[in-house]
Amino acid sequence: MFIIPYYFTKSQVQSKTEFKLWKAYVFLSGGSIWETEEKKISAVKAVDSYLTPNGFVGRVTLVTKTAMYFEIDQEKTNLKNFYYWTDSQANAVAEAEDVFRPFTWLGDTRPGQEDDWGWSEECDSLPLGKFGSATDLWKGLEHSLRESRA
């Protein structure tokens, strides 16, 4: 199962153009979406066995057949204990480390909705190993956006 710990920075609305920018920081293990050894694992066990021991505090926002999305509580998780994609000298180094990588969605609407900017095509072209593409990632993250901003 894939475990996707993430947090959002606040969306920004650019006043003159009215476009919106969403940025999610997603924890990657070795440059890919974090994958458990077990193909099937309960959300409770994934939190207890993988997330809590590694210092993540938050809540499960979505569980699919292959992935669990976990929104990090930024106040309770010490994010200074983690590396970020920009900490490495080159992205090739970051691919071998466990890092938070920013993923951005740009457009007039939320991810997963009508895409006048063509951002879906850009996300389709960014593969994330066995997990899929950045588009697949944003589909799960959009669930959390809908839930928290409804």
Between CA 97 and CA 30 the distance in angstroms is 5
Q: What is the mean pLDDT of residues 120-149?
A: 78
The sign of the dihedral angle between the CA atoms of 35, 64, 68, 140 is positive
Residue 117: pLDDT band (50, 70, 90) is low
State pLDDT tens for residues 10-63.
666 555 555 577 789 999 988 789 999 898 899 999 999 999 999 999 999 999
**For residue 38, how far is the Cα from the chain centroid?**
21
Q: How far is CA 141 from CA 26, 90, 112, in A?
A: 10, 27, 9
pTM of the full structure: 0.82
Distance CA 112, CA 51 (A): 27
pLDDT score of 88: 63
Q: Express each pLDDT in 56-108 by its tens digit.
A: 999 999 999 999 999 999 999 999 888 887 766 555 555 567 889 888 877 65
